[in-house]
């Protein structure tokens, strides 16, 4: 059924993140199998993988059962690449069932839990004296009121780890912003019934282009085999969304601090660290650590640093590929999300038309469009033409 020339890479989730992973491996001649509950989405139309449907992809055991059944049919142990937090948590917790059939590109269970649970991570970072925003973990009504008097406004409220109820109700919203003490207390009444484990955190002011990130692969002794750095330019939704435009930018401090943080965690495998520059004290604050491929990670591959292929080679014992040195900046653009983001920026007066047009200058790579893999972009175009864009433009 599957080629036994090389072990198969199994990508969990065929959204944009999964598409970038599939392409980065498929273009190297690796047999790739992509699993998702929606194979009709435009990002799943890539020619670089064999697709498998899992109707209960987000319900738990159904995905694990499918992976075990698939693993029994593979001629060699495959390599798992989760592209979302849910699939990462699931396969990490069920790794004993999956270990006979797969190599893993993520760290040990307790490290995965640390990255997924924001309360645990921020507590860890504070104990290690790593710079983080002012952060509180309310456990009672009295604590909420006390925090409302202490926190700097505006502040944000977000769950330690979004549950399915949160994801269903707020699919594109990770958090909420409170402008005042009254806002925060009203938010408490609204959100606690949905998710009891919440974080209250100061909102660091500034544009999205003050967000920097690293993409890293560390071996079993937490030594970096590859590291890439860049910065966001725009997000969707603006301020607290995922990247819609990012840019490669080598930053030795971001690279060094990322390695320091990951090594303190005893991290292994593929990960990323995100920072925001706080101009009030001219210091970078840690936003999050992720133990899977990150949303705009296709930019590193476009810059000659194919970290997913590096991870694959390391895990299956192939010679490691040489990574290119940092070169002139490359911009990564998610075509559909950046159009939505730009509309929001323009409408809010946070960007002029001239600034918008000039932002597309320079060398570019796209999240969806690819000459050697045109189907995702064609399906995206068909979808966009069917969307009432006039209504969106009018608000």
Q: Which are the contacts of 228, defined by CB distance < 8 A and separation ≥ 6? A: 214, 215, 216, 248, 299, 300, 303, 305, 307
Give me the pLDDT at residue 171, please.
67
User: What is the pLDDT confidence band of residue 163, given thresholds at 50, 70 and 90?
Assistant: low
Count the Cβ atoms, other than its own, within 10 Å of residue 193: 8
Residue 161 Cα distances to 86, 128, 232, 261, 272, angstroms: 10, 21, 23, 20, 17
- CATH classification at residue 299: 3.30.470.20
Same domain membership, residue 383 and residue 266? yes
Distance CA 149, CA 11 (A): 46
Give me the pLDDT at residue 164, please.
66
Tokens 């200058």 belong to 361
- CATH classification at residue 68: 3.40.50.720
In a domain, 180, yes or no: yes
Pair 84, 112: CB distance under 8 Å: no
Tokens 């090594």 belong to 263
Domain-ending residue, one of 184, 202, 220: 202
In tens, the pLDDT along 2-22 reads 455 899 999 999 999 999 999
Structural domains of the chain, count: 3
Same domain membership, residue 255 and residue 336? yes
DSSP secondary structure, 214-274, as one string: EEEEE-TTS-EEEEEEEEEEEEESTTTSEEEEEEE---HHHHHHHHHHHHHTT--EEEEEE
Domain-ending residue, one of 202, 218, 249: 202
Dig out the tokens for 263 from the structure.
Answer: 């090594």
Tokens 């946070």 belong to 350
Buried b (16+ CB within 10 A) or exposed e, 96-130: ebbeebbbbbbbbeebbbbbbbbeebbebbeeeeb
Distance CA 204, CA 152 (A): 10
Its pTM stands at 0.91
Give percent above pLDDT 90 in the chain: 74
Same domain membership, residue 379 and residue 250? yes
Domain-ending residue, one of 181, 202, 223: 202
Q: Which are the contacts of 305, defined by CB distance < 8 A and separation ≥ 6? A: 215, 226, 228, 323, 324
Classified as helix, coil or strand, 27 is coil
Averaged confidence pLDDT in the chain: 91
Same domain membership, residue 313 and residue 277? yes
In tens, the pLDDT along 54-85 reads 988 877 779 999 999 999 999 999 999 999 99
Give me the pLDDT at residue 140, please.
78
Of 244, 220, 212, nearest in space to 360 by CA = 244
- CATH classification at residue 190: 3.30.1490
In a domain, 306, yes or no: yes
In a domain, 54, yes or no: yes
Same domain membership, residue 329 and residue 379? yes
Same domain membership, residue 142 and residue 244? no
Distance CA 34, CA 15 (A): 10
In tens, the pLDDT along 198-240 reads 889 999 988 999 999 999 999 999 999 999 999 999 999 898 8
Residue range(s) defining the domain that contains residue 239? 208-390
In terms of phi and psi (left: phi > 0; alpha: psi -120 to 50; beta: otherwise), the region of 126 is: alpha
Same domain membership, residue 69 and residue 181? no
Give me the pLDDT at residue 392, please.
52
Same domain membership, residue 185 and residue 83? no
Cis-peptide into 394, omega within 30 deg: no
Angle at which helix 16-26 crosses helix 307-316, to 10 degrees, equals: 60
User: What is the pLDDT confidence band of residue 302, given thresholds at 50, 70 and 90?
Assistant: very high
Classified as helix, coil or strand, 157 is strand
Same domain membership, residue 68 and residue 152? no
Distance CA 38, CA 165 (A): 20
Give me the pLDDT at residue 199, please.
87
Same domain membership, residue 91 and residue 173? no
Q: Is the pLDDT of residue 353 over 60?
A: yes
Q: Is the pLDDT of residue 112 over 80?
A: yes
Mean pLDDT score, 363-387: 93
Give me the pLDDT at residue 141, please.
76
Give me the pLDDT at residue 393, please.
52
Burial environment of residue 15 by CB neighbours within 10 A (0 to 12, 13 to 18, 19 or more):
middle
In tens, the pLDDT along 304-317 reads 999 999 999 999 99
In a domain, 111, yes or no: no
Q: Is the pLDDT of residue 188 over 80?
A: no
Same domain membership, residue 216 and residue 74? no
Burial environment of residue 60 by CB neighbours within 10 A (0 to 12, 13 to 18, 19 or more):
middle
Classified as helix, coil or strand, 79 is strand
In a domain, 126, yes or no: no
In a domain, 286, yes or no: yes
Classified as helix, coil or strand, 105 is coil
Q: Which are the contacts of 32, defined by CB distance < 8 A and separation ≥ 6? A: 8, 9, 10, 11, 22, 25, 26, 48, 49, 50
Count the Cβ atoms, other than its own, within 10 Å of residue 66: 17
Burial environment of residue 223 by CB neighbours within 10 A (0 to 12, 13 to 18, 19 or more):
exposed
In a domain, 119, yes or no: no
Same domain membership, residue 187 and residue 80? no
Give percent above pLDDT 70 in the chain: 93
In a domain, 58, yes or no: yes
In tens, the pLDDT along 39-62 reads 999 999 999 999 999 988 877 779
Distance CA 59, CA 159 (A): 20
In tens, the pLDDT along 125-158 reads 999 999 999 999 888 778 888 999 999 999 888 8
């Amino acid at each position: 059924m599957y080629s036994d020339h090389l072990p198969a890479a199994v990508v969990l989730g065929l959204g944009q993140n999964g598409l970038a992973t599939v392409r980065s491996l498929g273009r190297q001649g690796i047999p790739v199998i992509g699993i998702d509950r929606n194979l009709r989405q435009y990002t799943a139309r890539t020619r670089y993988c064999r697709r498998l449907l899992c109707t209960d992809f987000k319900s738990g055991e159904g995905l694990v059962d499918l992976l075990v059944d698939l693993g029994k049919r593979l001629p060699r142990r495959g390599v798992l690449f989760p592209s979302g937090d849910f699939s990462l948590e699931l396969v990490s917790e069920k790794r004993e069932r999956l270990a006979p059939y797969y190599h893993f590109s993520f760290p040990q269970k307790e490290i995965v839990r640390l990255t997924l649970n924001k309360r645990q991570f921020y507590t860890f970072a504070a104990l290690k004296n790593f710079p983080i925003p002012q952060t509180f973990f309310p456990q009672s009504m009295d604590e909420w009121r006390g925090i409302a008097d202490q926190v700097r406004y505006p502040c944000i409220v977000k769950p330690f780890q979004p549950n399915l109820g949160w994801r269903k109700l707020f699919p594109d919203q990770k958090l909420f912003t409170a402008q005042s003490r009254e806002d925060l207390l009203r938010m408490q009444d609204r959100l606690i019934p949905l998710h009891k484990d919440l974080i209250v955190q100061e909102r660091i002011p500034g544009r999205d282009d003050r967000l920097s990130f690293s993409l890293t692969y560390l071996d079993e002794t937490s030594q970096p085999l590859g590291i890439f750095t860049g910065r966001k330019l725009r997000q969707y939704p603006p301020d607290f969304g995922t990247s819609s435009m990012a840019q490669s930018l080598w930053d030795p401090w971001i690279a060094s601090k990322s390695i320091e943080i990951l090594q303190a965690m005893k991290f292994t495998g593929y990960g990323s660290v995100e920072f925001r520059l706080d101009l009030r004290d001219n210091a970078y604050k840690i936003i999050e650590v992720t133990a899977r491929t990150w949303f705009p990670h296709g930019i590193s591959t476009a810059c000659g640093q194919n970290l997913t292929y590096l991870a694959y080679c390391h895990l299956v014992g192939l010679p490691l590929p040489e990574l290119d040195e940092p070169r002139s900046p490359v911009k990564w653009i998610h075509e559909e999300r950046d159009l939505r983001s730009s509309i929001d920026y323009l409408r809010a007066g946070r960007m002029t038309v001239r600034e918008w047009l000039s932002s597309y200058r320079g060398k570019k790579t796209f999240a969806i469009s690819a000459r050697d893999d045109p189907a995702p972009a064609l399906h995206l175009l068909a979808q966009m033409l069917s969307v009432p864009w006039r209504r969106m433009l009018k608000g």
